[in-house]
Amino acid sequence: MSRPSGFTEIDVPDQSGKCFIVTGANTGIGFEVSRVLATRGARVLLACRDQAKAEAAMAAIRQKAPGANLSFLPLDQADLASVRAAVELAAREPRIDALINNAGVMTPPLTRTKQGFELQFGVNHLGTFALTSLLLPKLAQTQGSRIVVTSSLAHRGGKIDWDDLNAEKSYSRLRRYSASKLANALFFFELDRRLRAAGSPVTAVGCHPGAAATELGRYLGPLQLLLPLTRLLLNTAAMGAWPTLQASTAPVMPGNYYGPRGFREIRGVSGEASRSADARNPEIARRLWDASIAMTGIDPGLPPA
């Protein structure tokens, strides 16, 4: 029986000589992406907060690929100082072929980053914005390099509260998560427009994993009890990694968005995915870009498209 048409990890070509940064690489989708890239011959920098967990992940990958070229890159996206330090270390690499922005948090209690930002917006979007912006000069040194930004099905219900970006007035875990994932979609949309207008050699694309059974839902509380009953309907972490792998290694159209092709994009092989109208709105995207510069103090240096 032939498999459905679409992209899976068996379609990832040889990656020898290339170098990838994968954020949140010690578990879940980030781990699976790192595993596949390493087995295809790539050098993979596992950008994680916890060195012990990163080393455990590298050991697990080396069990499957003894010669894997792996390295730990200290990174805490809840601290812009840590982001800057990670960029300084990464810039020492001879080349970087792709930055895979996979790290994120989902529905925690109200928490703040080191700089005082609401955690979900701060980590999922502002940390990604800062890391990407600071790495752009290094990425531009390699023709055909890519920036991959991970969004979510949840972006479709997302609305950005411009009057309360930092959750000083109110906080809803799910609404803030959806807003942060809309911000991810808007970021790669606007980044692509500006990179192309500037004639940059860097390509920006987006992806989402569908509904994957990973540790990201650790804050779901009692709802976690339902996960064993729903796992048959969800992607595994390995399956959820397929859209990220497609966005990172396959022929892509700049600015495209990739995700599962199964029912309602929940699971299945990867292909082109759909976005909400807000996620493709240039006015909202430009407003978010300007707000992100103001909040982080980091300017990617790309003029409006």
Kindly report, residue by residue over 78-97, the tens digit of the pLDDT.
Answer: 999 999 999 999 999 999 99
Residue type, 138: K
Distance (Å, rounded) from C-alpha 192 to C-alpha 121?
Answer: 21
CA distances 222 to 66, 107, 219, 305, Å, are 39, 13, 9, 46
What is the reported pLDDT for 234? Answer: 80
Average pLDDT, the chain: 94
Name the residues annotated as catalytic: 177
Averaged over 214-231, what is the pLDDT? 50
Whether the pLDDT of residue 221 is over 90: the answer is: no
Kindly report, residue by residue over 231-290, the tens digit of the pLDDT.
Answer: 556 879 999 999 999 999 999 999 999 999 999 999 999 999 999 999 999 999 999 999
What is the reported pLDDT for 1? Answer: 41
Region of 265 (left: φ > 0; alpha: ψ -120 to 50; beta: rest) is left
Whether the pLDDT of residue 67 is over 70: the answer is: yes
H-type helices in the chain, by residue range?
A: 28-39, 51-64, 80-90, 119-120, 128-139, 173-197, 227-230, 237-240, 242-249, 282-296
Distance (Å, rounded) from C-alpha 249 to C-alpha 95?
Answer: 16
Unique residue bearing structure tokens 């390493």: 38
What predicted TM-score, i.e. pTM, was given to this entire model? 0.94
- Are residues 97 and 74 in contact, defined by beta-carbon separation less than 8 angstroms? no
Q: How confident is residue 139, by pLDDT bands cut at 50, 70 and 90? A: very high
Whether the pLDDT of residue 202 is over 90: the answer is: yes
What is the reported pLDDT for 235? Answer: 79
H-type helices in 124-197, by residue range?
A: 128-139, 173-197
